[in-house]
Amino acid sequence: MRGYGRAAAALTLAFAVTACGPGPGPARSPAAAPDAGSAEVRFYVDPDGAAAREVRRLEAEGRTGEAALIRRIADRPNAIWIGDPDPRPRVAGIVEGARRAGRVPVLVAYHIPDRDCGRFSAGGAAGPEEYRAWIGRFAEGIGDRPAWVVVEPDALAHILDDCTRGGGAAERLGLLRGAVERLKRQPGARVYLDAGNAGWIGDPDDWIEPMRRAGVTLADGFAFNVSNFFTVEESVAVARRLSDGLGGAPYVVDTSRNGNGPPRGARGDDAWCNPAGRALGVAPTTRTGHERVDAFLWVKRPGESDGECHRGEPRPGEWFPSYALELARNAR
Residues noted as catalytic = 116, 154, 306
Number of C-beta neighbours around residue 100 at 10 A: 8
Distance CA 150, CA 109 (A): 6
Between CA 23 and CA 233, with CA 81 as vertex, the angle to 5 degrees is 65
DSSP at 20: -
Would you say 193 and 223 are in contact if contact means Cβ atoms under 8 Å apart?
yes
Pick from 81, 83, 61, 57: nearest CA to 70: 57
Q: Which of 228, 219, 274, 216 is nearest to 253 (CA)?
A: 228
User: Are 84 and 95 contacting, i.e. CB atoms less than 8 angstroms apart?
Assistant: no
Residue count (the chain): 332
**Phi, psi angle pair for 99, to nearest 5°:** -60, -45
Who contacts 26 (Cβ-Cβ below 8 Å, separation ≥6)?
216, 217, 218, 219, 220, 221, 246, 247, 249, 250
Kindly report the backbone phi and psi dihedral angles of residue 288, in degrees, each rounded to the nearest multiple of 5, phi listed first: -95, -25
What interhelical angle do 88-100 and 128-142 show, nearest 10? Answer: 20
Check if the beta carbon of residue 296 is closer than 8 Å to that of residue 257.
no
